[in-house]
Structure 1
């Protein structure tokens, strides 16, 4: 396959590089936190992936980001991951691929600037190469989980970008026989930022002129679906000299290479190895790929994972089911009985079909039934289903979800499948009745809502860009402090602006706030860059403080001498510091009292 279909019989096995492809493994993700139980799903499937690599005798494993579900996972998660990597990737097996790139450039962000199978201090039998994703993004100079795996020598961590004004990607050149692969990697970057850099031609993929016949691969971890105009990476706007792109971050499995119109390259989207959300895309069968590259030709064989927890997703439109009404009970009770029967006789049998027979496959399935209702009388208490199926499914608490059906037609049913439930809830809050008012994303809907003249003054201190970026951070990285951080930042910025203006009445303050709001709207790109920088700095400081806390906790366990070290000096030093702080505080308070306007009343 590739630039045409090749015949295996003409391939020399000594010239064929065999690669296991996987993305979005999300080690440490747990389904049933609500039930107070831990699950091993991600580790069970990760072990299956590593076993497959050994059984298929691959030359190396390539991971497309989000190996971990968190940037700094619990120590137990790191321990289990390292145990599995040591079990399957260490050994005395001969490595048949050569590393021809400059390790000082490829691994410039790593402590050990060497490919692990060339490190004389460690024996590698199956190398692993990986970029980071949005979930295990260490953010600039901070240390993350991938850095720990890198310094341990278990993973070759590449693709981390430290310059976000102009991105230059140097390839890893891998050689086996007569086959050369130029492997480009770009770890997760904010989609809007990367999209802007691509539009401004500030992303360069360096090419080697010394290797005329080279197979070029690019592994990235970004939004592929057009959630918003600039909130994704256009699949047909990447460099045309590429042969194959491995696309991480999107969890729906589309591993079969797709030729992209108007380009010469293919895209393979392996998807996640476990379901981390109850969406339709996650319910598709999970696969990994065995990629064979011979000179400039390639073949990708999909391998269905056998240890994935069964997951069935379905929609139910009450209006279409003709549920008979009874005069002896409420209609909601009739709906409950119908839904219960539907789960028992339709969904659970579908889940049972997904059992592979693998001894480590989890037994309890995931079920998600979206019920579209047209009137309140069709809604029943879902807790009755929770009690009934608490021992039969893995997610009884969120097995059923109700959605208001605006137009009970087949088209509306299909359109409702385009977005996750979280986005649909936000859309309902914003009261978007149909597709004409729905801009394909929550962020687009928010922007459109506040651009209307009647809603313009409902958001003055907090900007639409700030709100949307906080929402992006909350959804992409699980940052629960994102909204509080942006509100605090923009409130302080507005107060600083007001203090520089000559205002003394309530009306003049309100007018200046609106003027400042309009000025920020005119400088949208600059504000967006500033907000992204704010969040990146906060994340970096949080990581630094966490490291300091860890050091302090270690110090607390050390024995303390009974003899004080300069006890009097220490006390005197503290007293001096307190007096300085008091004086500074008094000066600051006196300065603030010169401004008798309390801006806080206008920023609430």
Structure 2
């Protein structure tokens, strides 16, 4: 996109035959609140249908989703059925796809084929999606997106099962003279992924065999972007510098205007969620999706405000800064309640009514969240009284009001100017009730509690790291077996350790257990990796994972056998056979009846680039190394790489 804001003019001058139009959205959370009284209103389903309708009305080439299509790892049959119905209704049809797939679908997609090339399907708007943390299938062998992929309704890509490295092969798309390389990283534990980035174990494959003067490199990922206390994240400036555009999922705040990252030169677009799943300030930002237009290496994003989103108003009251009245015939709590009641009715309900769009599918009962910062316990009242009053007017009456203690240092401060930019007030209102932050602070509290000297020995078999990992799994992924499994796993590890020691009395056993406990505390990072490996094992077997001093991972017998089979057979190592389904399809050809002549029929030259890094590394070449049907590769670990005429070349400065 041009720096002088002339991208719109440039795009208008380009031919539509060379321009990709892509609807981008993330975090639809289908099935959210389906077990509450709001289930009949189907907020997430109605908004998802609006998103699909926008795609059809705007004649987009395809839809790109950034994860968390479903709210639960195992969505209900009703939610899954509704998703299938909507995808069939809006994405199947007689309209011919307007672009071509140049890469090997067996390398790209879970179902080993692209749905718009399937002769048994009439796909008018293909959907490409990664999975997020909510629909992550790691706790089982099959996830919801696997099912949608098998039905041919979604092109599911970016799924990783190897916990030691990520090597991204692009989905290569062509429309006229425009080429797109689409990379995907479905949700991976943030701590592990950040470790892989630091270790240069995240690699980007780029095909240099095609005669492409320009290629637009896009990435879709679903990770934490914002740095929070006790919460790992992926720094936004640490992704591969060869990228042009990044669609960032997982973060629910809508920041859909592309933001350029000065250190790397790429743009990040964060559409945010299409439904509010937590009553925090970030979720109260108007919900939007976008139409991404790409022509050559130029792009623009057109914003679309969603009309079916439930109104949501978030506000704060600092009691020391407001006049709650001087009716001393009432106790302080009742005077505060009267003030809050008036504020909700006259201010917040009024703001919510302005968010009504008139769309017939928009819920009219708003979400209200009011944080009341108090200085004295005398100012706290029973919120149930107001909940009963607004139970027919507000969608969340029981959690409409929350009290927060104002910091002691600010109690005597007087507000002389309600509009002054005061750092103390900003710090006070920076408190966020986002569910994820709350969970992470709980983990931090557990860690702090057991780090104290008097509490260090209260856990013996179960480690603090394992406990926090299980808590995260239970809350984020609704994994009801998380605590049972981590206890079983760590019991087995402890027993295996004791079997290597000469213990024959209860006293010696207790002593060795304490030694083992201390060793695990000193190896917190390895302990976290061990827990992750157990949780993300597709079998959820309680296998031993040995972590040697050099941090090498010794796989279990099953994993080693599986990897050996992949190496022997060559995952995707077969040269792609010529299709017998029909002629090569272009814009004037038949639907999906054949593969494009430019496809990967012979071994190709592939370039690998590692993400940028502040630490210097020398370049090293790996010659004649086979990667499936993709041929020879070169690996560059130079801190900076550049994209030149469709190839990644090493900077020699």
Give TM-score, length-normalised by structure 1. Answer: 0.82
1:66 correspondence with 2:65: no
Q: What residue number does 2:55 align with?
A: 53
Task: Mark the CA change 1:3 to 1:197 in structure 2 (over 3 Å): closer, same or farther.
Answer: farther
CA contact (8 A) 1:53 1:61 kept: yes
* Aligned-residue offset at 1:421: 5.1
Structure-2 residue corresponding to 1:396:
397
Distance change (3 Å), C-alpha of 1:87 and 1:207? same
Stretch deviating more after TM superposition (3-12 or 389-398): 3-12
Secondary structure class of the residue paired with 1:213: coil
Q: Is the CA contact 2:140–2:539 (under 8 Å) kept in the aligned structure 1? A: no
How do residues 295-306 of structure 1 correspond to structure 2 at under 5 angstroms?
295-306=296-307
Tell me if 1:77 matches 2:79: yes
Q: Measured at CA, do residues 101 and 36 of structure 1 come closer, stay the same or move farther in structure 2, by a change above 3 Å?
A: closer
Once the 2 structures are TM-superposed, how far is the Cα of residue 540 of structure 1 from its aligned partner? 5.1
1:116 is aligned to 2:115: yes
Q: CA deviation at 1:473?
A: 1.6
Residue 326 of structure 1: how far off its partner (Å) = 4.3
What aligned pairs does 1:171-182 form with structure 2 within 5 A after superposition? 171-182=170-181
Within 5 Å, which residues of 2 pair with 1:454-603? Answer: 454-494=454-494, 497-498=497-498, 500-502=501-503, 504=505, 510-537=510-537
- Quote the offset at 1:418 in angstroms: 4.8
**Residue aligned with 2:207, SS:** coil
For residue 150 of structure 1, report the CA deviation from its aligned partner. Answer: 0.9
User: Which runs of 5 or more residues in structure 2 are unaligned?
Assistant: 412-421, 543-653
The 1:461/1:162 distance shift into structure 2, 3 A limit, reads: closer
Partner deviation per Cα, 1:288-320 (whole Å, 9 max, x = no partner): 010000001101111111110000111222222
Question: Matches of 2:65 and 2:350 in 1, distance apart?
Answer: 34
SS of residue paired to 2:197: helix
Alpha-carbon deviation of 1:69?
0.8
* TM-aligned CA distance change 1:55 to 1:422, over 3 Å: closer
- Number of the residue aligned with 2:635: none
The answer (yes or no) to whether the contact 1:90–1:126 under 8 Å persists in 2 is yes
**1:106 maps to which residue?**
108
Deviations 1:50-96 (Å, cap 9, x if unpaired)? 11111111100000011111122111111111111111111111211
Specify the SS of the correspondent of 2:360: coil
Cα drift, residue 491 of structure 1? 4.4
Structure of higher RCO (CA pairs closer than 8 Å, 6+ residues apart): 2
C-alpha distance in structure 2 between counterparts of 1:179 and 1:365, whole Å: 44
Over 3 Å counting, the alpha-carbon distance change for 1:374 and 1:242 in structure 2 is same
Q: 1:40 is matched with which residue? A: 42
Task: Give me the CA root mean square deviation.
Answer: 2.4
SS for the counterpart of 1:207 is: strand
Note if 1:28 corresponds to 2:31.
Answer: yes
* 1:198 has 2:200 as partner: no
Q: What are the Cα deviations for residues 485-522 of structure 1, in whole angstroms up to 9, with x where unaligned?
A: 3344434544554564526355x555433321110122
Aligned to 1:451: 451
Query: Offset of 1:526 from its aligned partner?
Result: 2.1
CA distance in 2, matches of 1:511, 1:413: 51
Return 468-477 or 208-217, whichever deviates more: 468-477
What whole-Å deviation, never above 9, does each CA across 1:185-220 have from its counterpart, x for those lacking one?
Answer: 111111111111111111111012123410000000
- Structure 1 residues 226 and 148, CA, compared in 2 at 3 Å: closer, same or farther? same
8-17 or 298-307: bigger deviation:
8-17
Contact 1:465–1:527 (8 Å) recurs in 2: yes
Structure 2 match to 1:274: 275
Question: Contact 2:503 / 2:509 at 8 angstroms: preserved in 1?
Answer: no
**Does residue 146 of the first structure (1) align with residue 145 of the second (2)?**
yes
In structure 2, distance between residues paired with 1:166 and 1:220: 16
- Tell me the alpha carbon deviations over residues 426-480 of structure 1, each in whole angstroms, 9 at most, x when there is no partner: 7xxxxxxxxxxxxx95544543454344543444443221122123223321334
Contact 1:450–1:464 (8 Å) recurs in 2: yes
Measured after TM superposition, the shift of residue 352 of structure 1 is: 0.6
Residues 122-271 of structure 1: pairs in structure 2 closer than 5 A? 122-139=121-138, 142-209=141-208, 210=210, 211-228=212-229, 231-271=232-272
Q: 1:141 to 1:477 in 2, by over 3 A?
A: closer
| Alpha-carbon offset, residue 338 of structure 1 | 1.1
- Please give the alpha-carbon distance, in whole angstroms, between the structure 1 residues aligned to 2:541 and 2:496: 23
Q: Is the 8 A contact 1:137 1:188 kept in 2?
A: yes
* Structure 1 residues 374 and 61: CA distance shift in structure 2, 3 A: same
Say if 1:168 and 1:337 are closer, same or farther in 2 by CA, change over 3 A. Answer: same
- The answer (yes or no) to whether the contact 1:195–1:230 under 8 Å persists in 2 is no
Q: Is the 8 A contact 1:423 1:442 kept in 2?
A: no
Question: How many residues align structurally?
Answer: 524
The answer as to whether partners of 1:30 and 1:38 remain within 8 angstroms in 2 is no
What is the distance in 2 between the residues matched to 1:276 and 1:484? 27
Tell me which residue corresponds to 1:417.
430
Give the distance between the partners of 2:27 and 2:541, measured in 1 at CA. Answer: 26
Conservation of the 8 A alpha-carbon contact between 2:407 and 2:428: no
User: 2: distance between equivalents of 1:61 and 1:415?
Assistant: 41
SS at match of 1:173: strand
Partners of 2:435 and 2:274 in 1: CA distance: 21
* C-alpha distance in structure 2 between counterparts of 1:2 and 1:86, whole Å: 38
